[in-house]
Structure 1
Amino acid sequence: MKYPIVILTALEVEREAVLLHLKNQTIENHPETGTDYVKGTFSKNNMDLDIIVARTDQTNVNAALETERVLEYYKPEYVFYVGVAGGLKDVSVGDIVIGTDVIGYERGKAEDSNFKPRPQFGASSYGLERFAASYANSNSWIEKKKELTETKFAPEIKTFTGTIASGEKVDASYQSDLHKHILQNASHALAIEMEGLGFLRVCQTRPSVKSLLLRGISDLVNDKGEMDGIGSQPYASKNVSAFLFGMISQLELNSPQQTEEQKEKDKWFEILCKLYPRGIEDKGIWLRADGDLSLIPNGTTGKGQWIEATRLLKLNGGGAITFESLKRCMLEDFPNNKDLIKL
């Protein structure tokens, strides 16, 4: 069974906002687990596009389990995780965050009077993330967000691209130990939520599936109770769902104009970003493949490093490293990755 697009949410309020964009809705159940999915259609270019919607419930563990199950069953070309998040910096209620990557901030080693963080990472598909950023500046979205804006929240819906923090706890106070820990170990994160890490870690094992994490800001941590009381979650869910379907309306599905060579290049880049989301030093991959670390700026994101790294490889630069030596080391790390084996 194969459908082009799967959309995942955690909460019912988020799923309801997604389903408002679909018609011809029916319930389908997984043949083994009985998990319920909503199948609907979305009108795109005078055609009805089949879309599957699944709800994972909260926490990264549940998100990972349900993401694996739905990807294995439906084998989509695109998978999106959408919903609400708390704002950490720069954002306002109603804004949208395109999650370039996610940092799992809770993992670490607790010592007598010290905690040494051992963060985990995941990354959205680079091409899809860039497409979302482009759509955020389109006339279509500029006009659409004017219709969505509610005056009791921020005067304008803004879109941001950046890192999202993900853990198993709700951050509801600036004074909490949790919030101080996040500021110390994930100070660059724009938002915080509870499912993105599980979602993107599973997508990491299926690099050929294009994946994207999208969040609507429903509170700013310290005002969570107040914002929930005036309907911020339905508002944020409505905004991020409208953004998603605006994207989908402009998305190219299996574009015939794209050459096989370009498809292979895109797939190669996606695999690098997803298997090594921290960049060229992740698992020591670049050094092990005889690459020169000094030739690539390490002050950028993992994706930024891979952009420069693949450029150097195409120019036969980067040290003694080659595509073949890099692939050999990748297969040592991920010997059973089907997408990697196909390259």
Structure 2
Amino acid sequence: MRILLQTALHLELNAMKAYLSDVKSETHPETGSKYERGIFSYQGRQAEVLLVETGAGNVRAAEETTRAIEHFNPDSAFFVGVAGGLKDVKLGDVVASTKVIGYEMGKDDDEFRPRLDTLQSAYSLQQIAKQLLRDDNWKKDLPEENRDQIAAYVEPIAAGDKVVASERAVAFQYLRKFCSDALAVAMEGNGFMVAAHAHNTEAMEIRGISDMISDKAEADASGSQPRAADNAAAFAFAIIRQKLTDTKKKNNIKDSVFRGKLLNTLLEMYPQGPEQDDIWKRAGGDVSILSNSMSRRSQWYNALERLALGGGGAKMTLQTLIEQVRIDYPNLQNDLF
């Protein structure tokens, strides 16, 4: 599984980087964009994670999202960071988007006539987020003394290129009038969602409330931003944990039905058998168990049977095999992988 995590600020990126192991810096081969790539592990499953710091604003977010998706081909993408609270939230609370409302589009005539650019978050991600709220088990990475003070919501988030710093601001009055269902406002979500939708990538924005519009400067000075970023990261990784759990239930190498589907798919991709392109070896498999005296289908059948019994190789798992297949087929769209 591949997860793209994007932020606007360095402190937000660091909040998510703390969840990863084996983090390495990476450079986009064409644009020179700098990334951090690492591994998130949970109950024997792993997600490969790419961290991207986009900078502020919807235009930058759209550009960097496009580059990162084309480079990394993620299964899911999240924009995670801090935001201003508009209503019904307090400092430290988390809002996961049902939709992102681009509020600055419109026609400026005798009066401004809004043409809101609204994009829905992926249904599957909304369902996981709502389940986390029902179970109330997403807070385990937060300091125990703070857990009861923090709430999470799955509600709309507004996005524009203005820093709204006062309830007297024209933009705030506009948000109250035309985006009355939004709980938070930030500056990157619309560009991020536009790019994700264009690439058919399931996406969601997740924000920790670092200030209320009426006391933005005071809240920022109090250290609310790092706390809000930590809370947003905790919720994002709770979603990723659930995705890994759901995938584990669905794709179990010990399940004969799944193994049969995997056999047929691998035979199409690697018709010369497990030794083609060193796929078995690259995945950490023991090539000595492979026999050239069998048909290619039999080779794959026996190799997967060994893997199901834990004998594919000392360093081999279903996940390492999937990771190598995805390297060979970066645009693969298949539920088995």
Matched residue, 1:57: 55
Q: Which moved more, 1:42-51 or 1:196-205?
A: 42-51
> Aligned partners of 2:39 and 2:240: how far apart in 1?
12
- Taking the TM superposition and a 5 Å limit, the aligned residue runs for 1:1-343 are 4-112=2-110, 114-138=111-135, 140-145=137-142, 147=144, 149=146, 156-207=149-200, 209-251=201-243, 252-253=246-247, 255-256=250-251
Runs of 4 or more consecutive aligned structure 1 residues displaced over 4 Å after TM superposition: 142-146
Structure 1 residues 66 and 142: CA distance shift in structure 2, 3 A: closer
User: 1:35, 1:123 → 2: CA distance?
Assistant: 28
Aligned partner letter, 1:222: S
Q: 1:26 to 1:144 in 2, by over 3 A?
A: closer
Task: Give the partner amino acid of 2:70.
Answer: E
Change (3 A) 1:137 1:148: farther
Give the 3-state SS of the residue equivalent to 1:32 in structure 2: coil
Deviations 1:143-168 (A, max 9, x none): 54462728xxxx61101111111000
User: Shift in Å at residue 111 of structure 1?
Assistant: 1.8
TM-score normalized with structure 2 length: 0.71
Q: 1:60 to 1:219 in 2, by over 3 A?
A: same
Letter in 1 for 2:189: G
Count of residue pairs brought into register by the alignment: 254
Structure 1: 5+ residue stretches without partners: 261-338
- One-letter code of the match for 1:58? A
Task: Measure the CA separation in 2 of the matches of 1:227 and 1:218.
Answer: 7
Residues 127, 148 of structure 1: CA spacing in aligned structure 2 closer, same or farther, 3 A cutoff? farther
Code of the aligned partner of 1:177: V
Partners of 2:101 and 2:118 within 8 A in 1:
yes
Deviations 1:46-104 (A, max 9, x none): 34432111111110000000001111111111111100110001000100001010111
State the shift of 1:28 in Å.
0.7
Structure 1 residue 139 displacement after superposition:
5.1
Shift of 1:173: 0.3
Q: Read off the aligned partner of 2:28 and give its amino acid letter.
A: H
Question: Does the CA-based 8 Å contact 2:83-2:210 persist in structure 1?
Answer: yes
SS in 1 for 2:30: coil
Residues 26/148 of structure 1: CA separation in 2 closer, same or farther (3 Å cut): farther
Alignment check: 8 A CA contact 2:80 2:205 kept: yes
| Pair 1:117–1:64, CA change in 2 (3 A) | same
**Once the 2 structures are TM-superposed, how far is the Cα of residue 23 of structure 1 from its aligned partner?**
1.5
Structure showing greater radius of gyration is: 2
Q: Which residue of 1 aligns with 2:316?
A: none
In 2: Cα distance, 1:139 partner to 1:215 partner: 17
Give per-residue Cα distances to partners, 1:220-256, cap 9 Å, x unaligned.
1111100101111000000111121122122134833
The answer to whether the Cα contact below 8 Å between 2:105 and 2:115 also exists between their aligned partners in 1 is yes
Q: 3-state SS of the aligned residue for 2:149?
A: coil
Check whether the contact 1:92–1:217 (CA below 8 A) recurs between aligned residues.
yes
Give the residue type in structure 1 aligned to 2:37.
K
3-state SS, counterpart of residue 116 of structure 1: strand
Name the SS for the 1:236 alignment partner: helix
Deviation digits for residues 292-336 of structure 1 (CA, Å, limit 9, x no counterpart) = xxxxxxxxxxxxxxxxxxxxxxxxxxxxxxxxxxxxxxxxxxxxx
Contact 2:139/2:235, CA 8 A, preserved across alignment: no
1:118 deviation in Å? 1.2
- Segments of structure 2 that go 5 or more residues without pairing to the other structure are 259-332
